[in-house]
Structure formats: structure tokens, C-alpha cells
Structure 1
Amino acid sequence: MNPNIEIYTWSRCPFCIRAKALLKEKDVEFTEYVIDGDEAARSLMAKRANGRRSVPQIFINDNHIGGCDDLYELEFQGKLDQLLTA
């Protein structure tokens, strides 16, 4: 079963680009919401992300993972692959 991965981004955000690169390296599909200048979309993202308004915000199977640093921390701890195969 493929995980449902969603990532809210800005098109030129270096952290967004880095997070997407890791997901692509893992060869998983994800849905990207590019929210450049879309305050309504950013508010929706913040509601889902417990108030966090920075990008990226990443969700795996509707669970809030956090941002780029959080994603890489999961990878460093060896926990990301478990989430991607659950």
C-alpha cells in the first residue's frame, strides 16, 4: 500500500525543494500544494499543521510530520522508511 503524502510548498523555497528531493529519492509519490501568495490555502495548511505557517509542511497518511528538518530527522533516526511503508 502506498502512503498518502501531502506537502505544502512555495515554488522557490529551498527547504521545500530539499524536502521534495528526499521524497523523490525515496521513490514515493506525493501530492504537492504550491501555495505561493494564497492566504486561504496557507490558513488551511496552518489549521492542519497545528498553527505552523512555515513551509514546507508535510503530512503522511494525514499525520502531520512537520517541515523539512523534521522529515530529515526522521530519515536520520531510521524512522522515515517505516512511515513510507506503513
Structure 2
Amino acid sequence: MESAVSQQLRVLPGEFVVEHLGEGAPPPDGGWLSLVRAPEGLTVVRPSRPGEGPGAERWSALYGGDTAHAVDVPGMLAALLAPLAAAGV
């Protein structure tokens, strides 16, 4: 069994939006944080842009990837969510 590796969780600067693009949509040009393609289409997490409508839902982004870890290490999600839940986030 591998020993636990300490991860530093940080808030990325700025605000982000989540866009759901149709099936077969190409990735957008410009900066983005995450692209996820599924059978239903493409989901893009990108920085919010000045002038986007007031109805655009904005998000903060957390990042915990300063130290690489194996994808099969158990408990990574719980290690991030438990302290957030305890803090009422």
C-alpha cells in the first residue's frame, strides 16, 4: 500500500463558466480549463468573459493537482470533499 501524499487545494483566480455544446461540436478556440466529450456533446469549463449576460452562471475553480498521484489511489475525492463539507462549503 502506498503512503498518502499531501495535496494542496487552491482556488484558481477568476470566475469560470460551464458551457454545454452539441454533439460533434469542435473544441472552442481560446483559453479553457477543461474539455469533456460525452455522447451528449462537449462540456467546456472556461474563464468568464467581460460582457457575458447577467444570467451566465459563474463558478470558482478548485485545483488540487500540484503533486501527481496515481489514478488508482483510493480516497482522493473523499480527501478533498470531507474538509469542504466540514467547513460548510
TM-score by length of 1: 0.24
TM-score of the two chains, using structure 2 as the length reference: 0.24
More helix by share: 1
Please state which structure has a larger fraction of its residues in strand: 2
